[in-house]
Amino acid sequence: MSYVTTEDGTQIFYKDWGPADGTPVLLSHGWPLNADAWDSQALFLAENGCRVIAHDRRGHGRSTQTWAGNEMDTYADDLAVVLDSLDLNGVTLVGHSTGGGEVAHYVGRHGPARVAKLVLVSAVPPLMLRTDDNPEGLPVEVFDDIRAGERASRSQLYRDLADGPFFGHNRRGDVPQGIRDAFWLQGMASGHRAAYECIAAFSATDFREDLAKINVPTLVIHGDDDQIVPFEVGGQRSAKLISGADLKVYDNAGHALPDTEKERLSRDLLDFIHS
């Protein structure tokens, strides 16, 4: 398996699919998942000539289960190590959910020199948590409940999320068992502390300054029935804060677009990469 090593000794696992000279694309996954969450898009893009990198965030999947560094600054720095180690230039960064925060914070923290384009999919920016200057956000009790579930029985929490709001199965009842099982399996492969601390990272990190710094072509994709990052909290506002961003709204779609809308999302990503 392929790894890069960060300054604190953390090993970050990554997949590298497709032709070595293909247009580079990096896919950043959501919580509490890993690179496998992107397999459908990674295969499609690689088969269509892209070089696709998908990494496991620290504390998740096959990467080191770190005690420290489970916050957005370090996630962005780890991403910089991946890009620098593989010497990726002209890359399209694609982030789903928490991964959307990671790629936005990478640009805000490290600059866009290696980046050609950016895609935010059901992403957590600009700020999920309700604060005095962010009244559109969600109350802290929402995230406290997730933290309580992570501590009480993370296995049950992941099962409840998979069977309920993550895929929108509670609305439509049409998400195959195998897809829901894959969410549970990936979640259980994450480190307990890392997954717990990541809840604060995705909910309480303020990405508004990062979005203001983005000056590359950006596509924002969000479902208007997203029960995890509501459209009005996430994609709608991010598209307004990023200069020149394009917004695609998936009607009646939920949060887990890489699974529930995989063909449409794959095609939209490829079209944007080649635009």
Give me the pLDDT at residue 97, please: 98
Give pLDDT tens digits for 139-149.
Answer: 999 999 999 99
Give pLDDT tens digits for 174-195.
Answer: 999 999 999 999 999 999 999 9
| Residue 247 CA from chain centroid, whole number | 17
Please list the active-site residues. Answer: 97, 226, 255
Mean pLDDT of 161-182: 96
Return the residue matching tokens 């289960």: 65
Rounded percentage of the chain residues whose pLDDT exceeds 90: 99
Angle separating helix axes 177-188 and 140-163, nearest 10 degrees:
130
Backbone angles phi, psi at 214, to 5 degrees: -75, 120
DSSP 3-state of 164: coil
C-alpha closest to that of 138 among 202, 94, 187: 202
Neighbour tally for 85: CB within 10 Å: 15
Rounded percentage of the chain residues whose pLDDT exceeds 70: 100
How many domains does the chain contain in total? 1
Using 50, 70 and 90 to split pLDDT, how confident is the model at 37? very high
Using 50, 70 and 90 to split pLDDT, how confident is the model at 31? very high
Lowest mean pLDDT among 47-51, 81-85, 170-174, 196-200: 170-174
Whether pTM > 0.85 for this model: the answer is yes
DSSP letter at 70?
-
Q: Which residues of 53-64 are buried (b: 16+ CB within 10 A; e: fewer)?
A: bbbbbbbbbbbb
Q: What is the CATH number of the domain that holds 48?
A: 3.40.50.1820
Mean pLDDT of 238-265: 98
Q: What range does the domain containing 177 cover?
A: 2-273
Give pLDDT tens digits for 198-228.
Answer: 999 999 999 999 999 999 999 999 999 999 9
Mean pLDDT of 253-259: 98
Give me the pLDDT at residue 1, please: 79
Give me the pLDDT at residue 115, please: 98
Evaluate whether 248 touches 268 at the Cβ level (below 8 Å): yes
Residue 117 predicted with pLDDT over 90? yes
Give me the pLDDT at residue 261, please: 98
Give pLDDT tens digits for 63-109.
Answer: 999 999 999 999 999 999 999 999 999 999 999 999 999 999 999 99
